[in-house]
Amino acid sequence: MEEQLLAFLKFLQQEYNYSNNTIAAYKNDLGQFVSYLQDNNSIKNASGWQSIDADKINGYVEYMKEQPYASSSVARKVAAVKSFFNYLCANEIIEENPTTAIDSPKVKKRLPKTLSSEEVDRLLQAPANKKSPKNLRDMALLNMLYSTGMRVTEVVSLQLADVDLENKVLYCPGKDDQVRELPFDQYTKDILGNYMEEGRPFLVKDKDETAMFLNHRGQQLTRQGLWLIIKAYAKEADLSVAVTPHTLRHSFAAHKLNSGSDLQEVQKLLGHANISTTQIYTQLEEAEPAN
């Protein structure tokens, strides 16, 4: 039986080019499944995997639900078992797939964390205590995040040519090579203009560097660098809630909807493929309108 497990993991690696971490996760999840079967005397070595029926797998699913795992972890572990039995059936190692009628556990959707308008204002103004190139960058960076709802990767990947300062619009390359036109307000334009004139020239080291937001080495800002910047200013603004780069994107969406923007409009601005992804923000009853 172990031979089939190893063959399945090799299949995943060769057929789907899964990473070592993903293969390790499958190995761990299936190992837990085998341990459960052994502990409950559910494996009959004579008939191997053919002896595992739907009742035994349902028993495992219920057992996993009783463990201190997040619903997403349980769903992943069950998915690994179903994938394994699909493989066994496809390769005629078993005659029938016992997981066909097994329902995948529902994953509880967590509502995104947002800031109130007052908390957003405190965060955006936190870098204003100094006029250094770094602070001018951070003012522009935070305002750009909130005023456009861009993803973290999109912000750090922003190039000078992507920003039309005169017309207050930027062209954001997103997923699947889709480019979104994102407008921003006059206030953000002024702050971004200050950074480009009085901040960025003092950060850039290579005249050929085209990234909009630079670190202290004059290179394109990284995701980790952005996270550290926001973490520091959230502490400086004395915010009681945990703030991540995505918090401003969530706040942008919730505030837009709460101030009367159309759901399809917000979907387009966020670059969501499915409107159901955007609809989750309508559940945030306490979100305040954006300024």
CA dist list (Å): 279 to 94, 111, 183, 270:
43, 11, 22, 12
In 3-state terms, what secondary structure has residue 183? strand
Q: Cα-flanking dihedrals φ and ψ of residue 43, to 5°?
A: -100, 125
Strands (E), the chain: 163-164, 169-173, 179-183
The DSSP secondary-structure symbol of 220 reads B
Q: Which residues are catalytic?
A: 151, 175, 246, 249, 272, 281
Could you tell me which residues are beta bridge partners of residue 164? 169
Query: Which residue reads 């201190």 in tokens?
Result: 68
Residues 6+ apart with CB under 8 A from 206: 218
CA distance 249 to 253: 6
Structure-token pair, residue 153:
């990767």
Q: Are 227 and 244 in contact (CB under 8 A)?
A: yes
Angle between the 54-65 and 71-90 helix axes, to the nearest 10 degrees? 160
